[in-house]
Amino acid sequence: MRQGRTYLKKNDQVEVIAGKDKGRVGKVLKVLPDENKAVVERVNMVKRHTKAREMNQQGQIVEKELPIHVSNLQLICPECTKTGRIGKKILDDGAKIRFCKSCGESIEKKA
């Protein structure tokens, strides 16, 4: 299987644009490039029933996030606070950056 290419990185702010959680905003917790999916905070929540493993432990229902396909997510620009398309460019010093196509500003975190 070909490794996917995604424009998302950990800690990016994204909005869900399709599916049952459409319109919800969250932070990317984990990116799975091989599957073209990302785990987003409080999005695509499911309940999992866990069995008691030890004598003193109880079984319980655990709520957790499942990965969501990156085509259903859109990055929120930190500068103009809009969702929109992003581009990639290489600066004069050779650094690769992501930029917002609507405002032209860099999306990378300022160090």
Q: Tell me: the pLDDT tens digits for 15-47?
A: 999 999 999 999 999 999 999 999 999 999 999
What is the helix, strand, coil percentage profile of the chain, to 5?
5, 40, 55
pLDDT greater at residue 26 or residue 5: 26
How far is residue 60's CA from residue 49's CA, in Å, rounded to a whole number? 6
At residue 67, the pLDDT reads: 98
